Amino acid sequence: MAKEKVYATPNIVTPNRPVIFDSKICNGCNRCVAICLMDVLIPNPKKGKPPIIMYPDECWYDGCCVLECPKSGAIKMNHPLMQRVRFKRKDTGEHFRV
Amino acid sequence: MQSIEWPYPIRYQKESEVRTDVLVLGGGVAGCFAAINAAKKGTMVIMVEKGATIRSGAGGAGCDHWVHTPNPSSNITAEELVAYELESNGGYCNGLSRYIAARESYDTLLELEKMGAKIRDTEDEFKGADFRDEKTKFLFAYDYANKVHFRVWGTTFKPALYKECKRLGVKIYDRTMATSLLTKGGCQGDRVVGATGLNIRTGEFIIFKAKATINCLSRHQRNFVFSSELRGLSSFRPPNIVGDGHAMAWRAGAAFTMMEKTSPTTFGSGYSFPSYGSGNPYNTWFPCTMVDAYGKEIPWVDRDGRILTNVSERSRPAPGQKFLGERSLAYNYKKPQLIPDLEERINRGEFTLPLYADLTAMPGDEKRAIWGLMVGEEGKTKVPILQVYTEAGFDSNKDLLQGYQFIRGDQMSEVGHPKERTTGEIADAGGLLIDWDLRTTLEGLYAAGDALFASNYYYHAATTGRYAGRKAAEYARNAEKPIIDKKQVKNEKARVYAPIKRKNGIEWKELNAGICRVMQNYCSEPKNEELMKIGSLWLRDIEENEVMKASADNPHKLMRTLEVMDILTCSQMVIHASLARKASSTFLNFLRLDYPLLDPPEWRKWITIKLTNGEVDIGELPIGFWGSLEENYEAHCGLP
C-alpha cells in the first residue's frame, strides 16, 4: 500500500455543515446565495456546481435557502449534533432522534 | 476550509450618491410596510437592507401569530389592549406605539392580504374548528372567546411585501449595510438628511441623500450572549440584527429610553434547542398536552388554580376573566398554564423527567393547528422543524416530542443561570424615543418596529411601519432640500474602511465575545455603581485598543466587524442608562445592590439618554408621557 501523507490542519469551525448540497440535483443556480440573510454561502467558482458554505458558523438555521430552492432535494438542512432532539413512539415506547 | 478568491468585484472606497424623498433603513417587516406606505403617498422611496429583502429580517422566514388586533369578530377594544399591556409591564410599555398598532393592525392585516399573503382559512382546512370564525374564515389563538389573536400563514408574508415594494417602484438596495446617519452641517442633534451605506459584497460606499429617513433597523442584540459553538449563533432574532440603527441614531444625537432593561436568558442561551423544535406547551405550541416519562398527563390550571378538565378550556378565560393576554403574568389577563408547582412535584417523584409534548392526545383540529400550521408558518419552522423532523420519522399522530424543561435547554422555559442576562431578544427592550408622528427626537428621522423602545411582535412592526411611512412622506413633501456635509462623509469613510487596512488584528468573533463577557460580568445582575464603572472602563479599553487593531480581509468580515463596533456602542448605551437609574425595578428586571428598594414611587418614570456635543445627557419622562391615547392618535394619524 502506498504510504499516505499526513498533514497538519487547523480545526474546523463548529458547527460546520448547516446545510448539505446534493450535487446531483443542484444545478448551481445560486438562488440560495441570493436568499441567505447572513450571506453564509458564496457562489462556486466552477459554474453549475453547488455554492460553497463559506461561513457555516454564522447560519441562523431559518431554512429559507431550502424554502426558496427551485430544485427539490438539492439542499437539506443539517442541524448540528448538539441541536438534535429526541422523540418517542407512544404505543411502543421506542426511542428515536432527529 | 480552503481560501478562494473573493467572488464579487472589490470596490473599496468607491463612492456613489443617490437621492430620494424617503429613505427606509432596514427591509424587514417594518421597513417594507414603511416603504410601501410612503410610496403610496406618491413620494420617491429607497430602502436599504443588509440581507435580501424577500426573506430578510426577524419575520422573513415566517410568522404564526398576529396578536392584539381588535377586529369585527371581537369585542375587545384598542384601549382595553393597551391597558392590559401597561398593567402587565407595570407601566413600562410603549403605550403610544402599541395604541397605534392596536388601532390599525386589522387594516394592516387586510392590506397584507391584498398583496397576496394568506391570512384566513380559504381552503376550509379547519372548517368547524373551535378556533375558527365560520363567517370570515379567520383562525384565532389563545382566547377563542375573545378572538383578538390571529393564526396566520406567515411564510407568505415577506415575499408578498417584497413584491408590493417592487410594484410601487421602491428602489431596493439589498446587501447594503447602513453605517451612519448624516445630519445637517454634520452636527449631532440636528436634522437627519440621509445615511451612508456599505455594500457587504463589494465594499462600495453609498451616500443616500434624503428628505426624511425611517429607522427600521430593529434593535440591539448579541450584547450579553455570543457563541456560535454551542448551538450555532445563539440569538432569537437573526444574528445580523445587532443594533446598527440604535448605534447610528445614538451617534447622531437621538434620544433613547428603557435601555437599562435586560432579561434573564431564555432564547439567548447556548443550551437551548432549535426554536419551536422541542416539546413545550407555550406560544407556537399552545395549548399542547404535556406528559411525563411514563405518559402521565400534566394537569392544566386557570389563573385561580382551578384544574381544567378538557383541552377547550385552555383557550378560554376563567369565570369572571375579561380576556386572555398573549403573554402576561398579571392576574387579570393570565392564560391557563401547566400546574405552577410542577418542579416541586417532579422533585417529590410525582412526575418523572423527561417531559414530552403529546400531540396524539390533542383533538384533531388542535393537533393540526400546532403541527402543520403554527409549526410550519412560524419563522424557522417550515423547513428546520416540520420538514426535517418529518423526514427523521416524527409522526404527530404517533409520537411524543421530548421537552427539555427542568433538565437544561428549552426555548421558552429554560432553567438558566439566574445571573445570565440577555437583551433585545424578547419583546421588551430599549429603543428610540418617539412622538405621535413616530418621529424621533431628531428632525427628519422617523422610526418603526423594533427600533422603538418597548416594541412588540410582527403586528406591531407592520403597523408602526405603515404609520411611520405615512408620516415621513407627509414631512418629506414640504421639507427643505437635504444638504450633505462633506466632512461628515469623509470621517465616516475613514471609520468604515479602517479594519481593511490592518493585517492580523483581532477578528470580529473574539471582539464580540469579549464585549459580552464584560457585559455579563459588570452589567448583569446584580449591578452596582462600582461594577458598572469598571464595565464602562473595560468597554472604553476595548474601543481604544482592540477595536483600533481589528482587521477584516474581505467585505463580509468588514460588515461583521462594523456590526461588533455597533454592539460595543449599544453596550455602552446600556451601561449609561443603568448607571442613571438609581433604583431597582421588578418590571425592568433591574436589580441594583446599592439601591435595592424595588420600584420606589419617585423612580416610576422613564430614563432617557442621548448624546449632546459628545457628552451623555440624561433626562426623564413621566410614565404616561404620551397623554390621551385616543385624542392624540386622532390628531396625528393623518387618516380621514
Confidence of residue B65 (pLDDT cuts 50, 70, 90): very high
Q: What are the pLDDT digits (tens) for B5-15? A: 999 999 999 99
Please tell me the predicted confidence (pLDDT) of residue B606. Answer: 98
Q: What are the pLDDT digits (tens) for B513-525? A: 999 999 999 998 8
Asked if residue B207 and residue B77 are part of one domain, the reply reads yes
Please tell me the predicted confidence (pLDDT) of residue B212. Answer: 98
Span B561-579, mean pLDDT? 98
The last residue of one of the domains, among B458, B486, B514, is B486
Please tell me the predicted confidence (pLDDT) of residue B235. Answer: 76
What is the rounded CA–CA span in Å between residue B454 and residue B86?
11
Q: Decide if A11 is inside a domain.
A: no
CATH code for the domain in which residue B249 is found: 3.50.50.60
CB of A64 within 8 Å of a chain B CB? The answer is yes
Asked if residue B500 and residue B469 are part of one domain, the reply reads no
Question: CB neighbours of B496 closer than 8 A, spacing ≥ 6?
Answer: B179, B196, B198, B205, B558, B562
Please tell me the predicted confidence (pLDDT) of residue B422. Answer: 74
Asked if residue B307 and residue B164 are part of one domain, the reply reads no
Q: Decide if A38 is inside a domain.
A: yes
Inter-chain contact B61–A35, Cβ cutoff 8 Å?
no
- What distance in Å separates residue A24's CA from the closest CA in chain B? 20
Q: Decide if A33 is inside a domain.
A: yes
Of A37, A54, A57, which is closest to B52 when you measure between CB atoms? A37
What is the rounded CA–CA span in Å between residue B169 and residue A84?
44
Confidence of residue B267 (pLDDT cuts 50, 70, 90): low
Please tell me the predicted confidence (pLDDT) of residue B411. Answer: 58
Q: What are the pLDDT digits (tens) for B572-587? A: 999 999 999 999 999 9
Asked if residue B166 and residue B54 are part of one domain, the reply reads yes
Please tell me the predicted confidence (pLDDT) of residue B1. Answer: 56
On whether the CB atoms of residues B446 and B215 are closer than 8 A, the answer is yes
Q: Decide if B89 is inside a domain.
A: yes
CATH code for the domain in which residue A46 is found: 3.30.70.20
Span A68-89, mean pLDDT? 96
Q: What are the pLDDT digits (tens) for B445-454? A: 999 999 999 9
Q: Decide if B147 is inside a domain.
A: no
Q: Decide if B132 is inside a domain.
A: no
State the best of A32, A81, A88 to mutate against chain B, taking most chain B CBs within 10 Å: A88
Q: What are the pLDDT digits (tens) for B380-402? A: 999 999 999 999 999 999 999 99
Average pLDDT score over chain A: 95
SS3 sequence of chain A? CCCCCCCCCCCCCCCCCCEEECCCCCCCCCHHHHHCCCCCEECCCCCCCCCEECCHHHCCCCCHHHHCCCCCCCEEECCCHHHCCEEEECCCCCEEEC
Question: How many domains, chain B?
Answer: 3
Q: Decide if B447 is inside a domain.
A: yes
CATH code for the domain in which residue B584 is found: 1.20.58.100
Which residues in chain A are closer than 8 Å to B388, comparing Cβ atoms?
Answer: 77, 79, 98
Q: Which of residues 33-52 of A touch B (CB under 8 A)?
A: 34-39, 42-43, 45, 52
Inter-chain contact B201–A39, Cβ cutoff 8 Å?
yes
Confidence of residue B418 (pLDDT cuts 50, 70, 90): low
Asked if residue B251 and residue B184 are part of one domain, the reply reads yes
Domain that holds residue B93: 15-118+153-264+420-486
For residue A94, give Cα distances in angstroms to A88, B347, B354, B402, B482. 6, 26, 15, 13, 68
Confidence of residue B408 (pLDDT cuts 50, 70, 90): confident
**Has residue A65 got a pLDDT over 80?**
yes
β-pairing verdict for B356-357 and B290-291:
antiparallel
DSSP letter (8 states) at residue B125: T
Confidence of residue B409 (pLDDT cuts 50, 70, 90): low
- What distance in Å separates residue A22's CA from the closest CA in chain B? 16
Q: Decide if A76 is inside a domain.
A: yes
Asked if residue B251 and residue B318 are part of one domain, the reply reads no
β-pairing verdict for B150-151 and B138-140:
antiparallel
Q: Decide if B102 is inside a domain.
A: yes
Closest listed residue to residue B267, CA positions, set B298, B300, B229, B224: B224
Q: Supply the angle between the helices B629-636 and B78-88 in degrees, to the nearest 10.
A: 120
Domain that holds residue A83: 19-97
State the best of A87, A91, A94 to mutate against chain B, taking most chain B CBs within 10 Å: A87
- What distance in Å separates residue B270's CA from the closest CA in chain A? 10
**Has residue B416 got a pLDDT over 70?**
no
Asked if residue B373 and residue B291 are part of one domain, the reply reads yes
Asked if residue B393 and residue B427 are part of one domain, the reply reads no
Looking at chain A, which residue has its C-alpha nearest residue B158? A64
Asked if residue B297 and residue B326 are part of one domain, the reply reads yes
CB of B376 within 8 Å of a chain A CB? The answer is no
Q: Decide if B7 is inside a domain.
A: no
On whether the CB atoms of residues B474 and B505 are closer than 8 A, the answer is no
Inter-chain contact A90–B233, Cβ cutoff 8 Å?
no
H/E stretch holding B17: strand B15-25
Q: Decide if B171 is inside a domain.
A: yes
ipTM: 0.97
Please tell me the predicted confidence (pLDDT) of residue B71. Answer: 98
Confidence of residue B2 (pLDDT cuts 50, 70, 90): low
Of B52, B235, B388, which is closest to A77 when you measure between CB atoms? B388
Please tell me the predicted confidence (pLDDT) of residue B268. Answer: 57
Percent of chain B with pLDDT over 70: 96
Asked if residue B378 and residue B434 are part of one domain, the reply reads no
Asked if residue B482 and residue B456 are part of one domain, the reply reads yes
Q: What are the pLDDT digits (tens) for B333-351? A: 999 999 999 999 999 999 9
Residue listed under C-alpha cell 445560486: A30
CB of A98 within 8 Å of a chain B CB? The answer is yes
**Which cell numbers in the block locate residue B59?**
419575520
The vertex-A55 CA angle with A53 and A56, nearest 5°, equals 70
Please tell me the predicted confidence (pLDDT) of residue B273. Answer: 86
Average pLDDT score over chain B: 95
β-pairing verdict for B307-308 and B300-301:
antiparallel
Of B295, B379, B394, which is closest to A87 when you measure between CB atoms? B394
Span B192-221, mean pLDDT? 98
Span B70-82, mean pLDDT? 97
SS3 B606: strand
CB of B379 within 8 Å of a chain A CB? The answer is yes
Instruction: Give the DSSP letter string of B54-79.
Output: GG-STTSS--SEE-S---TT----HH
Please tell me the predicted confidence (pLDDT) of residue B128. Answer: 97
Q: Decide if A3 is inside a domain.
A: no
On whether the CB atoms of residues B629 and B433 are closer than 8 A, the answer is no
What is the rounded CA–CA span in Å between residue B341 and residue B374?
28
Instruction: Give the DSSP letter string of B156-224.
Output: GHHHHHHHHHHHTTPEEETTEEEEEEEEGGG-TTS-EEEEEEEETTT--EEEEEEEEEEE------SSS
Among A29-33, B63-67, B268-272, B599-603, the range scoring the smallest mean pLDDT is B268-272
Backbone φ and ψ of B106, nearest 5°: -70, -45
Closest listed residue to residue B370, CA positions, set B465, B275, B287: B287
Span B527-551, mean pLDDT? 98
Asked if residue B219 and residue B299 are part of one domain, the reply reads no
Please tell me the predicted confidence (pLDDT) of residue A92. Answer: 98
Span B262-266, mean pLDDT? 76
Q: Decide if A8 is inside a domain.
A: no
What is the rounded CA–CA span in Å between residue B419 and residue B346?
24
Q: Decide if A88 is inside a domain.
A: yes
**Has residue B224 got a pLDDT over 70?**
yes
What is the rounded CA–CA span in Å between residue B124 and residue B105?
24
Question: How many domains, chain A?
Answer: 1
**Has residue B424 got a pLDDT over 70?**
no
Please tell me the predicted confidence (pLDDT) of residue B390. Answer: 98
Please tell me the predicted confidence (pLDDT) of residue B272. Answer: 79
Please tell me the predicted confidence (pLDDT) of residue B427. Answer: 56
Please tell me the predicted confidence (pLDDT) of residue B227. Answer: 83
Q: Decide if B504 is inside a domain.
A: yes
**Which cell numbers in the block locate residue B384?**
428546520
Closest listed residue to residue B574, CA positions, set B294, B313, B337, B222: B222
Q: Decide if A7 is inside a domain.
A: no
